[in-house]
Amino acid sequence: MCGIVGYIGHREAYPIILKGLQRLEYRGYDSAGIALYDGNNIKLSKTKGKVADLKERLENEITTTGNLGIGHTRWATHGIPNDVNSHPHYSNSGDLVIIHNGIIENYEAIKTELIKRGYTFNSDTDTEVLINLIEEVKKKQGVKLGKAVQIALNEVVGAYAIAVFDKNKPNEIVVAKLGSPLAIGVGDEEFFIASDASPFIEFTKNAIYLEDEEMAVVRLGKKIKIRKIKDDSLVNPLMQELKFNLEQIEKGGYEHFMLKEIYEQPHAIRDTYRGRLLAKEGIVRMSGVENHKEKFLNANRIIIVACGTSWHAGLVAEYIFEDIARIPVEVEYASEFRYRNPVITNKDVVIAISQSGETADTLAAIKLAKSHGAFVFGVCNVVGSSIARETDAGAYTHAGPEIGVASTKAFTTQITVLTLIALKLAKEKGAISNSQFHYHLEELELIPEKVEKALKSDEHIKSVAKTYKDAANCLYLGRGYNFPVALEGALKLKEISYIHAEGYPAAEMKHGPIALIDEHMPVFVIATKKGHYEKVVSNIQEIKSRKGKIIAIVTEGDVDVKKLADHTIEIPETIESLSPLLTTIPLQLLSYHIAVMLNKNVDQPRNLAKSVTVE
């Protein structure tokens, strides 16, 4: 997720764009850049680092600024964060510049063709390919920039929100959108372009939000014309009067970043499997695994090292890898693994999971594993992070920046990546039938819309949260694939509401914890239809007979548990191995609402940091 800003009008572009980038830094902050038209040429400056670093650099470089410009703050997906990979990007001629938020999946094929036609590339990005494709179309077909953008976008596969301008036509900016947000602020004799309204809300409250597969040529003195990219048909622009204030815009209209990120999960999961999950073709494409598959296939075992929520994702992966790919897996707290003098050999594959890519214990565990000759694979969310650079190979989650300290979309996108790896290896090993493989891919492809459906229970979940917000202690129970989700649900409640909670395998109750059950103990039980259902029902009966309060996460249409539980929360049906992607949603929302009702600092809970970079 990156931030894009553009301006064309009667004011100086530079200060507006710079301030707009500062407002969009929550969307991405590993590098930033600006391109300005100064009346004759394009002045472009970009740097790895934050917008503040760009500002410092610009103060020496920017002598004059015109009234046209674009700016970008990056959250890397292709190409590590550095100056060259930062946006904006020039076309080869230097006439065109682009900024882009999204992923062009078929950029490699396009790049190969452009190289054959004499184009050269400075960066590793998909974006630089797109601007040169636009230039090639413009040159070869002799069309204007708007038409060239339209033709080029009909050749790309992926997601984008782009802004492009031509130094030879400095009275317009061409914009287009598919899968990433793009808002146009409409002022008096001026236009603003941005990923959301925060860069222009102080100048105008009139905004047009492009829909997917729409584009526009934003030209001074002209009314905006919006067209469908595919068939060039005109679209009536829907002008909206903004009611949000600045802070609400940064949170996408949600009260907290955590709630925004819970609701971003359908998009984040889709972005994470985009270009990797090809269900129709029956393919899982993951170059980081493909290039080292012998390591995985010949491994004695896979050791997963992580902390916190990422460790819970590792536990889910243990069930998936052993159940589907038949590969032995051990899951280790990185903080324990690094000090317990573990037996590690060069026949071990270590998977390190980390949202931030900076967790000190996980980094130390990686170094220990590498010192014993193990092959280390990283699953990170931050491109170019320390862990991403330390590991031998890896696969990124494309969750976008996770601002809330309590991890939500990182958890579900980590499970998405790990599921894809397990399925790919299972297929390579012949451990899964073709039909089962295809079935898993098709079910995984449906998960985003099933998460959307699970989110629709939010109001009901809020009412359940109200009933239990004053509990002193809570228990979370799950079996099989959902035992790790019980642990994760308990962690979510603990870390943002400060209520003590514990997760257990449901069958463990009789080995001690059942002594805790009385009428004051809320017990959250994951009781999905295919997850040892009958056994979980008997666990629920044991709790009920001791007056425990039961809140059950059930498969939609469930009847039996409904008769027993004090509250039930329904989720759509899916195959058991994918159920953690759905059962975690109500538990995230429950902890969120309880914490809000208790007036806790949901996004920055006491004593916690988003990334634990020290021991």
In the complex, which residues of this chain contact ligand AGP (CB under 6 A)? Answer: 307-310, 354-356, 359, 362, 405-407, 495, 611-612
CB of 486 to ligand AGP, least distance (A): 15
CA distance 192 to 17: 9
DSSP state letters, 574-607? --GGGTHHHHHHHHHHHHHHHHHHTT--SSS-TT
Please state, in angstroms and as integers, the Cα–Cα distance from residue 517 to each residue in 475, 492, 509, 553, 562, following that order: 9, 21, 10, 19, 20
Q: Cβ closer to ligand AGP: 198 or 354? A: 354
SS (HEC) of 97-164: EEEEEEEECCHHHHHHHHHHCCCCCCCCCHHHHHHHHHHHHHHHHCCCHHHHHHHHHCCCCEEEEEEE
In 3D space, the residue among 319, 308, 306 whose CA is nearest the CA of residue 505 turns out to be 319
Residue 240, phi then psi, degrees to nearest 5: -115, 145
Pick the catalytic residue from 2, 307, 380, 474.
Answer: 2
Q: Which amino acid is at 44?
A: L
CB of 319 to ligand AGP, least distance (A): 19
Q: Cβ closer to ligand AGP: 362 or 412? A: 362
Pick the catalytic residue from 228, 370, 529, 610.
Answer: 610
CB of 64 to ligand AGP, least distance (A): 43
Q: Cβ closer to ligand AGP: 125 or 482? A: 482
CB of 406 to ligand AGP, least distance (A): 4
Q: Cβ closer to ligand AGP: 308 or 489? A: 308
CB of 285 to ligand AGP, least distance (A): 25
Cβ atoms of residues 88 and 72 within 8 Å: yes
First vs last Cα of the chain: how many Å apart? Answer: 30
Let me know if 307 is a catalytic residue: no
* Residue showing the smallest CB distance to ligand AGP in the complex: 308
Total H helices, total E strands in the chain? 21, 27
User: Which residues, including other chains, have CB under 8 Å from residue 247's CB and lie 6 or more apart?
Assistant: none
Compute the radius of gyration of the chain from its Cα atoms.
25
CA distance 126 to 123: 9
Cα angle value 353/356/359 (rounded, 5°):
70
In this structure, what token pair is assigned to residue 610? 């988003």
Let me know if 610 is a catalytic residue: yes
Cβ atoms of residues 175 and 227 within 8 Å: no
In this structure, what token pair is assigned to residue 539? 């666990």
CB of 5 to ligand AGP, least distance (A): 28
Q: Cβ closer to ligand AGP: 276 or 492? A: 492
Q: Cβ closer to ligand AGP: 307 or 374? A: 307
Cβ count within 10 A of residue 360: 17
Q: Cβ closer to ligand AGP: 478 or 548? A: 478
CB of 470 to ligand AGP, least distance (A): 23
CB of 412 to ligand AGP, least distance (A): 12
Q: Cβ closer to ligand AGP: 489 or 572? A: 489
CB of 502 to ligand AGP, least distance (A): 15
Burial class (CB in 10 A: 0-12, 13-18, 19+), 242: middle
DSSP state letters, 332-368? EEHHHHTTS-----TTEEEEEEESSS--HHHHHHHHH
Q: Cβ closer to ligand AGP: 114 or 406? A: 406
DSSP state letters, 23-64? HTGGG--SEEEEEEE-SSSEEEEEEES-HHHHHHHHHHH---
CA distance 13 to 43: 12
What is the set of active-site residues? 2, 610
